[in-house]
Amino acid sequence: MTNKALRIGPVTIQPPTILAPLAGITDLPFRLMAKDAGCGLVCSEMISANGLVYGSKKTFKMLESTDRERPLSIQIFGADPGIMAEAARMVEGAGADILDINFGCSVKKVVKTDSGVALMRDPQRAEKIMIAVRKAIAIPLTIKIRSGWDPSGKQAFEIASMAEQCGVDALCLHPRTAGQGFGGKAYWPLIAALKQKLSIPLIGNGDITSPELAHDMFEQTGCEGIMIGRAALSDPDIFRRTSLFLENKIAEPLSLDDHFRMMGNYLKNSIDHHGESIACNMMRSRLGFLVKGLPGCSTFRKKLVLTTCEKDIRDCLSAFQLYLDSDHGKEQLARSDS
């Protein structure tokens, strides 16, 4: 198995696992949770270059970081080369270790601004952006792309070749088309085919929901790193188990105590970062993701949506853990694991 370090410019990423940028999810508290779980590189949610350059306080707050999460990649999106370059300088000034450009978001409100995956059908604009950003910063530059607008992957190969010529240090491919969104199945053979044509590191992304599938992507595609997104929403511990699996080690499931400690830390970090009111409102859905599959999770979620403060949420967590530690809870857990 492989667990070799991934190197992007001078940045060493070990294990070679990356938290995908997830809009509205991968803020500082979530990144800290992934890092504590053993993720090699965490990435911010995508940040508007226009928002940074035009002084949006809400957007600039998204750049807040801490040494605990290093190395850190910050992803930006936009369509104007000059604005993208200025935003990249701001990201570098904020202390990011890597700057990533989004060429893959297929959400309509992003595409209609000629950003995200729209850039994959406008190679001239894409090239201008990469050249401008590369000239603006000294830290490593990466891009995240999709297959393009048709299943052939022709646009992915074109953008990837252009990126290499523009001085991009690494590339991540999510092998789904713009029209697929997150539907259908990621076509891993496209990652393998692109790897054969690139000399810069290639990161594979799409449908990695277990350590075994992470291993399979490495083996089937030859990529140097893997990116995990949606699976980490309900299972941040996937990073720890994946790292161990790639080292031929057995990864025991996270204990209930550790699982609830993780959620408690996530709550605390969210309150520290966002303030109690905003954080507790966010936790109504975020903590609901983190109990997926546990017996009684539906009841817990129903109680969680009624919470208004930190005490309420901690009371909900304590009550749920007490239930899972009860004889009935243990019986239900045993059945769900069988």
Q: Supply the CATH number for residue 301's domain.
A: 1.10.1200
Question: 333 pLDDT band (50/70/90 cuts)?
Answer: confident
Domain coverage including residue 295:
256-337
Which residues is 47 bridged to in the sheet? 76
Q: Does residue 1 belong to any structural domain of this protein?
A: no
State the pTM of this model.
Answer: 0.94
pLDDT confidence tier of residue 337, bands split at 50, 70 and 90: low
Please write the tens of the pLDDT for every residue from 206-236: 999 999 999 999 999 999 999 999 999 999 9
Check pLDDT > 80 for residue 141. yes
Q: Are residues 319 and 210 both part of a single domain?
A: no
Q: Of 196, 224, 246, at which residue does a domain stop?
A: 246
Task: Give the CATH number, domain containing residue 230.
Answer: 3.20.20.70
Structure confidence by residue, pLDDT tens digits, 69-121: 999 999 999 999 999 999 999 999 999 999 999 999 989 999 999 999 999 99
Query: Does residue 1 register a pLDDT over 60?
Result: no
Is 231 in the same domain as 268? no
Residues 208 and 260 grouped into a single domain: no
User: What is each CA distance from 202 to 23, 136, 298, in whole angstroms?
Assistant: 22, 23, 40
Residue with tokens 């035009």: 54
- Percentage of the chain modeled with pLDDT above 90: 87
Residue 305 and residue 170 share a domain:
no
Active centre residues (catalytic)? 105
Considering 224, 246, 268, which residue would you say is the last residue of a domain? 246
Q: Are residues 79 and 187 in the same domain?
A: yes
Which of 246, 273, 289 lies at the terminal end of a domain, its last residue?
246
Would you say residue 251 lies in a domain? no
Higher pLDDT, 336 or 115: 115
Confidence at residue 144, expressed as pLDDT on a 0 to 100 scale: 98
* 46 lies in the same domain as 118: yes
Over range 305-324, report the average pLDDT: 95
Task: Kindly give the pairing relationship between strand 11-13 and strand 6-8.
Answer: antiparallel
Rounded CA-CA distance 142/114 in Å is: 19
- Buried residues in 304-314 as b, exposed as e (16+ CB within 10 A): beebeebeebe
In a domain, residue 47? The reply is yes
**30-39, 103-112, 124-133, 307-316: the lowest-pLDDT one:** 103-112
The confidence score (pLDDT) of residue 307 equals 95
Q: Are residues 123 and 148 in the same domain?
A: yes
Residues 216 and 285 in one domain: no
What's the domain count of the chain?
2
* Together in a domain, 85 and 177: yes
Residues 228 and 329 in one domain: no
pLDDT tens digits, residue range 23-58? 999 999 999 999 999 999 999 999 999 999 998 999
* CA–CA distances in Å: residue 334 to residues 234, 294, 297, 321: 20, 11, 15, 15
Residue 273 pLDDT more than 90? Answer: yes
Task: Compute φ and ψ for 70, nearest 5 degrees.
Answer: -65, 145
- Are 18 and 110 part of one and the same domain? yes
Residue 303 has pLDDT above 70, yes or no: yes
